[in-house]
Structure 1
Amino acid sequence: MSPRRSNPQTRPALVDIAARLLADEGPQALSARRIATEAGSSTMAVYTNFGGMSGLVREMVYEGFARLQSYFSHVSRTADPVADIALLGRAYRHNALTNPHLYAVMFGGASLAGFSLTAEDRQYGRYTLSTVVECATRCITAKRFRDGDAELVAHQLWTAIHGLVTLELGEYLIEPFDADRVFEAQLTGLMVGAGDTLEAATRSVGSSKRRLRKVVEGVRPDPVDDRPAGDRRPRPRQAAPAG
């Protein structure tokens, strides 16, 4: 007999609650009973929706990357690829700060409820990087970045911004070197490091800052989608005409 269909509101609520408990109280807070109590449901909801705690933790990872890809998908392709790739960096940071409870799980759940990330799970997260690779390729083609490996450039951007965000979430970045100041300098430095001129990079990074609000406003809460986030796996975007 197949499991009965659950309330579509329950699944995303359980994911959010579990991630928040983890971020606020640590792995010891992750129990089916505690999560169900917070959600106002029975413990059976965890097993009906995820097959158990390990399945719930995996869904937290997938949901985190699905939300990141949602922000990436709202970064429009323009005639300034450096501004576009800087905006992807801003979108990455904004997603992390908006969903810190999920961000904490996305990159290492080695001991959570007996769960450990598999190679397939990590590859799921890497799908989101394809958007950055495509944009880095355009930067190279436009002669804004020096000739090189677009995938390497994308990984360098990822590791640099991930490191800053991790320090920011840990509240390590304080005045006079607060997160905003460091991040703005970092974006420009990354563009120059990839081959752009300081003048052009400064102009493009400034443009990306003005565009962030439109990206954030574009990511509206969707109608409830009760499919597992794993069924909404991010895929490389199709190239769109420059505009």
Structure 2
Amino acid sequence: MRSGSSTAEPCGSSASGLSTMAVYHHFGGIPELIRAVADRGFTELGRALSQVPVTEDPIADLFAMALMTRRVARENPHLYDLMFGLSTRRATYRPLSDSDVRSSGRSPAFRGAYVHLAEACARLVSSGRIGQQEPEAVAAQSWSYVHGCITLELADHFAEFADPVAQVLLPMGVNLAVGLGDDRERAQASHEAGARLYDSLTRGSEDQAVAE
């Protein structure tokens, strides 16, 4: 802000090195900038989920996606908060004309990430392992448990657990699968297979990071 001026720079512009005019020129305003950043996060999430191959076990695939999502969130928790409205829920920014900035579920970037989950849930319903129900509802329940658990973990609500994945996330996934109609032993085995699949997908990148 210039000396003697009563006009402050929009939040984020000075911190990022962008001028007020640059923000409005490229994005239209702060709400559009926030949505663009959130969309970038969903694009990265979609890229991560696309690394999980389609196997004969859709529940294993879903749990590998859950762990991949957790990895993305832990690598950039502030971006994750922004993607799911946790950083803007009390904001006083001007709402967008077509939808609120927090309604990321309407964006193509979100749909590009969510489609991986939706397709896996459709395969799960078709497999006959759970009761006949709408795949969209199964996907919404899966999305809710994964992101609810991750959000609580990022907020340190699971600090008392030595291994939040083994003690919270995996058992919750098993319980959801059983509630949907799967056999408990089979659901447990699938989640353990999903954890192994995730480990096989991420071990190479972790080894490379250590080498660098």
- How many angstroms apart in 2 are the aligned matches of 1:217 and 1:59? 31
Structure 2 counterpart SS, 1:78 = coil
User: Which ranges of 4 or more aligned residues in structure 1 deviate by more than 4 Å?
Assistant: 41-45, 110-113, 217-220
Return the letter of the residue paired with 2:93: G
TM-score (normalizing by structure 2): 0.76
Distance 1:98 1:83 in 2: 23
Does residue 123 of the first structure (1) align with residue 123 of the second (2)?
no
Gaps of 5+ in 2: 1-8, 207-212
Aligned residues: 189
Match of 1:192 in 2: 178
Matching residue of 1:159: 144
Identical pairs, percent:
32
Q: How far apart are 1:29 and its partner, in Å? A: 8.9
The superposition leaves residues 52-100 of structure 1 with CA deviations (integer Å, 9 ceiling, x where unpaired) of 4333211111011111111111110011111111212222222211221
Instruction: Give the direction of change, closer, same or farther, for the CA distance of 1:87–1:29 in structure 2 (3 Å limit).
Output: farther
Return the structure number with greater relative CO, CA threshold 8 A, min gap 6.
1
| 1:172 to 2:148 alignment | no
Partner of 1:128, secondary structure, is: helix
- When residues 29 and 179 of structure 1 are mapped into structure 2, their CA distance, relative to the original with a 3 A threshold, is farther
Amino acid at match of 1:161: V
Task: Answer yes or no: is 1:213 the counterpart of 2:203.
Answer: no
1:179: Cα distance to partner? Answer: 2.2
Structure 1's unaligned 5+ residue stretches are: 1-27, 221-243
For 1:84-95, what aligned pairs fall within 5 Å after superposition? 84-95=61-72
> 1:60 is matched with which residue?
37
Which of these residues, 108, 114, 121, is aligned with residue 93 of structure 2? 114
Structure 2 CA distance for aligned equivalents of residues 77 and 106 of structure 1: 26
Within 5 Å, give how 1:128-139 maps onto structure 2: 128-139=113-124
- Could you tell me the TM-score, scaled by structure 1's length? 0.68
User: Distance between the aligned counterparts of 1:178 and 1:217, measured in 2?
Assistant: 18
Cα RMSD over matched residues? 2.8
Judged with a 3 Å threshold, the aligned counterparts in structure 2 of structure 1 residues 162 and 115 are, in CA distance, closer, same or farther, namely farther
Q: Distance in 2 between matches of 1:111 and 1:60?
A: 18
13, 32, 37: which one pairs with 1:32?
13
Shift of 1:50: 3.0
CA distance in 2, matches of 1:206, 1:131: 20
